Structure 1
């Protein structure tokens, strides 16, 4: 095989990988939108949903770049009014509202989960996701506290602590599910060029 044939083969592989990446990115954004509708309302106004699992899964499946892009697409869809947030809500009012800090924090969590996907050990892989989860809860508590006038400790007790156990379990479950799915969609190292870098 000469150099030209080699270059053509590499270009064809890159094009297929790019298409595959775009499809998976869009698919993960759609999955996040769907799982966001599985919601249990609570008096705090912050519902229990499967968003955390979906966002973490996108990161662990696709890596930091495409996982972050998937979450960004989901957030942007909601910002322009597509009802992808919990309870079929959408619009900038949700992002600017008392639950918006959690949603914007998801972007950082998906990227950190993507970095975690590249770690060799399970503990370190999950730890990156948990670091992202900490950002989600911190951003959520701060915005909730500012908009409601509630003290940060009170806000933490109301909108963070009741959810933290479920969210930790969601990140761990997403890590193992993401690893399994990656084995089927392609070796992570083979996808790193277009997805993780």
Structure 2
């Protein structure tokens, strides 16, 4: 792995941490800009480095560095109601990057972003449902449905930014 790869992975881990602090609480699960940077990391860095960047982000938070929404950190956040969303970030970045690498550029970015969001929702919904004592319908209404339109907007923005970044020569 080259030094530039490590630097870019670290940059996206840091950007995700900053995105977590751009937060609007609307209930148990806040609206943050994390998903935008998770998707963008996969779209720009590719599957392997996108995954690594988000793994670093999750690890930083797990060991107590306050990188999660609301300047929180620690394993308790990962075990809490929003932990499933956060744990899904590395996999979502990987899938977004993988689909971008394997499919036609724009189609791959769109498909990868939508699949990445689906992965985040699935793991987040399952964890939140478990946290709510098995109320998976309530978890869907609380932790998925209110975010669909917002996250589709973040995905569209991530695709536009990634296309722009990838068009830069060099």
> Per-residue deviation at 1:181?
1.2
> Per-residue deviation at 1:151?
2.0
> Per-residue deviation at 1:185?
6.8
Give the 5 Å matches for 1:165-184: 165-184=149-168
1:116 counterpart (87, 99, 111): 99
Question: How many angstroms apart in 1 are the aligned matches of 2:51 and 2:107?
Answer: 21
Question: How many angstroms apart in 2 are the aligned matches of 1:177 and 1:102?
Answer: 23
In the comparison of the two structures, how many residue pairs are matched?
A: 169
- 8 A Cα contact 2:47 2:98, kept in partner: yes
Matched position secondary structure for 1:86: coil
Question: How many angstroms apart in 2 are the aligned matches of 1:129 and 1:102?
Answer: 15
Q: Does 1:53 align with 2:36?
A: yes
Q: TM-score, normalised by structure 2?
A: 0.93
- 8 A Cα contact 1:28 1:58, kept in partner: yes
Deviates more, 1:113-122 or 1:56-65: 113-122
Alignment match, 1:69: 52
Alignment match, 1:79: 62
Stretches (4+) displaced over 4 A: none
Query: CA deviation digits over 1:121-176, x for unaligned, max 9?
Result: 52343112211211110111111111111521221011100001111121221122
Deviates more, 1:32-41 or 1:110-119: 110-119
Question: How many angstroms apart in 1 are the aligned matches of 2:91 and 2:113?
Answer: 10
Q: Gaps spanning 5+ residues in structure 2: where?
A: none
- 8 A Cα contact 1:81 1:90, kept in partner: yes
Matched position secondary structure for 1:87: coil
Change over 3 Å in CA distance of 1:116–1:172 after alignment to 2: farther
Question: How many angstroms apart in 2 are the aligned matches of 1:34 and 1:124?
Answer: 26
Q: TM-score, normalised by structure 1?
A: 0.81
Q: Gaps spanning 5+ residues in structure 1: where?
A: 1-14, 187-197
